[in-house]
Copies of this chain bind each other. A is one copy, B any other.
Amino acid sequence: MSSTLQTLDRGLLALKIVSEHNEGISIAKLAEELEVHRAIAYRIVATLESHALLTRTQGGTLRLGAGITLLASRFEPQLHAVALPLLKTLAKATRATAFISLSQGEECMVTLVAEPEEGMLRVGYRVGSRHPLTQGAAGIAILAGRAPKEEDSPEVRQARADGYSLTRGQLQRGAVGVASHIPTTRSGIGMEACVGVVAMDDLDSERAIREVKTCAKQLAELIGQ
């Protein structure tokens, strides 16, 4: 049983609480939510502040600090470093272009791509391209990863049940996409990501589905619990 550190744990909890209060939160209230003495909350805040993870506005309310963006900017490269080998394997196994997309608001954005080395024609999928979540295998896979909602389309429900989504020609005529949600955090809504492949109509979809699902599982283990 790996033990954790109380002080660090409380500090991180404080960070989380502040992040959940969009309008900001006072130290007094933070202390209350943490169930610690006010003096302790001050010390926690001072420490987080010194790392720029928290900042106090003139009103004295707490908000997330700019240091968060620094960490965030370093997260994506690390994700890529881990994911690229897997993506290459996926591309090779399916002979299709493999990708990882992240949700960004009501869109999803391609952040990493691996193209197959062989094959006459390959489907290019540009890093940085975006689509609405409701369109294309990637977006549907991400929606399927969310908690069920009334307004979910049949495709999304299907994808949720199957653990993958397959679309034909939604983004491009003659293109097939297969994607699967990457489950990341056990509690709460962390990052939303999916992995998939795109190819011409000739894709061996049976195999692609299998490979994509396997890859999603592997990625889930690598990225977070």
Residues of chain A touching chain B, judged by Cβ–Cβ distance below 8 Å, are 2-13, 15-16, 19-20, 22-24, 42-44, 46-53, 55-59, 61, 63-75, 77-78, 80-82, 102-105, 107, 109, 111-112, 127-128, 130, 184-185, 188-191, 221-225
Q: Using Cβ atoms and an 8 Å threshold, which residues of chain B touch A44?
A: 5, 8
Q: Enumerate chain B residues within 8 angstroms of A225, measured Cβ to Cβ.
A: 49, 52, 55
User: Are A224 and B55 also in contact (CB < 8 A) when A7-B5, A64-B78 are?
Assistant: yes
CB distance from A173 to the nearest CB of B (A): 26
- How many copies the complex holds: the figure is 2
On whether the beta carbons of A80 and B69 are closer than 8 Å, the reply is yes
Tell me the bound Cα distance from A77 to B82 in angstroms: 20
A224 touches B8 (CB 8 A): no
Q: Which of the residues B16, B47, B77 comes within 8 Å of A12, measured between beta carbons?
A: B47
User: Could you tell me if B4 and A70 are in contact, using CB atoms closer than 8 angstroms?
Assistant: no
Known contacts: A2-B42, A47-B4. The answer to whether A66 contacts B190 by CB under 8 A is yes
Across-interface contacts of A42 in B (CB, < 8 A): 2
Q: Is A59 a contact partner of B22 (Cβ separation < 8 A)?
A: no
Known: A55-B105, A81-B105. A66 touches B191 (CB 8 A): yes
Of all chain B residues, the one with the shortest Cβ separation from A126 is B70
> In the complex the two chains form, is A65's CB within 8 Å of B189's CB?
no
Contact indicator B128/A50 (Cβ below 8 Å) = no
C-alpha gap A104/B58 in the complex (Å): 11
Q: Is the CB of A191 within 8 A of B69?
A: yes
Q: Is the CB of B2 within 8 A of A46?
A: yes
Bound Cα distance A19, B145 (Å): 26
CB-CB nearest in chain B for A146? B58
A62 to chain B, nearest CB (A): 9
Contacts A47-B5, A189-B23 given; does A109 touch B67 at CB 8 Å: yes
The answer to whether B190 and A24 touch across the interface, beta carbons within 8 angstroms, is yes
Residue A63 contacts which of B64, B69, B127, B189 (CB distance < 8 angstroms)? Answer: B189
Q: How far, in Å, is A112 (CB) from chain B's closest CB?
A: 7
Residues of B within 8 A of A66 (CB): 102-104, 109, 111, 184-185, 190-191, 223-224
| A190 to B9 alpha-carbon distance, docked (Å) | 24
